Amino acid sequence: MNIFYLIIQGIVQGLTEFLPISSSGHLVIVQHIAGNNNNNFFINIMLHMGALLALTIAYRKLIIRLFHAVFTIIGDMIMGRFHWTEMKEDENLLVMLLIGFLPLLLLFVPLPFSGGLNAINIAEILTNNNAYFIITGISMVVTGVMLVLGYLSNDMTEKLYKKRGIVRKKGAGRRFLNVIDVLSMGIAQMFSAIFPGLSRLASVFVIGEMRGINKQKALDYAFLTAIPTITVAVVMEGRRAFLSENIQSEIMLPLILGIVISAVTGLFAISFFKWILKKKNIVLFIVYGLVVGIVITVISVTELKSGINLFTGKYLVFL
């Protein structure tokens, strides 16, 4: 695996992780075109380290505030002053991030009648076998449809607030989250971790909009949920890969370079999406996701009929 290939992977990962178009889906597209089926899942997860670095830099001020909220909540609990309904905005966000992470634990629970496989194992199969390319296409179409639903939901929220004469400097919608909000977003994030092409950012963001949450608040929550999600995925997949000794040493230097590039491009993507959100140009991502998803699905159907990868001429791999 050469450096150029992982540089491309790093750029794709960084640009798409923080845009509602699915980083995992785009990495699978690059891997499918290149005809690479070795350690795809491991590489995809490790490249997310760059995204984690970018996210930490971009949201450093809010992250520091959340750490401060930890000690505030602990202090209030010790003094008997903590009240669920009286939490400040940062305290509410912190508690809801912890609760919203709970559905992701289901990813590691063995599925019924699967012979011990869990959802992460299913995700690895879908990522490492080019015959399942159609899953990526369909998932990207679903992402586009979800963005349409989110757009319409946010529009309804803004009209409702306007009708009630409520004007807020930070935009329409709730800024405090509740348990139903975050569990719904957590379940959506769980499914996005399984199916390449189903955007994690879009899934969480759209559910937030459909629940009537302020779109900037929903975006911040969607970004922040990536921190524990990526951290756990990197630690577990990295440990599994190194213990199994399936990872060759020569891949590590190019991979590190890919991670750095992913971080740099990730910072750009975060700023770009925030700008797009302010300009209300989310339609660009809707059109992009639907078009790319449909094209991939058509290509996949053709490949399944012939049994051959159209880009490499190699036989499709099923597992």
Per-residue pLDDT of the chain (319 residues; tens, 9 = 90+): 577 877 888 898 888 988 999 988 998 999 899 887 766 777 778 888 888 899 999 999 999 999 999 999 999 999 998 899 889 999 999 999 999 999 988 998 998 877 889 998 899 888 888 889 999 999 999 999 999 999 999 999 999 998 888 887 778 899 999 999 999 999 999 999 999 999 999 999 999 999 999 999 999 999 999 888 888 878 877 777 666 656 666 677 778 888 899 999 999 999 999 898 888 889 999 999 999 999 999 999 999 999 999 999 999 988 7
170, part of any domain: yes
The pLDDT value given to residue 241: 67
| Backbone dihedral region for residue 47 (phi beyond 0: left; psi -120 to 50: alpha; all else: beta) | alpha
Q: Which residues are registered as beta bridge partners of 152?
A: none
Number of folded domains that form the chain: 1
86, part of any domain: yes
Closest listed residue to residue 179, CA positions, set 76, 81, 85: 85
318, part of any domain: no
CA atoms within 13 A on the CB side of 129: 15
The pLDDT value given to residue 87: 93
311, part of any domain: no
The pLDDT value given to residue 8: 87
Cβ contact 224:18 at 8 Å: no
312, part of any domain: no
Residue keyed to tokens 């996701």: 289
110, part of any domain: yes
319, part of any domain: no
The pLDDT value given to residue 65: 96
Mutual angle of helices 283-306 and 133-163, in 10-degree steps? 160
315, part of any domain: no
Q: Which amino acid is at 128?
A: N
The pLDDT value given to residue 242: 67
The pLDDT value given to residue 247: 60
- Burial class of 222 by CB neighbour count within 10 A (0 to 12, 13 to 18, 19+): buried
Closest listed residue to residue 200, CA positions, set 45, 62, 58: 45
The pLDDT value given to residue 38: 67
The residue range of the domain holding 84 is 3-306
Q: Which amino acid is at 245?
A: E
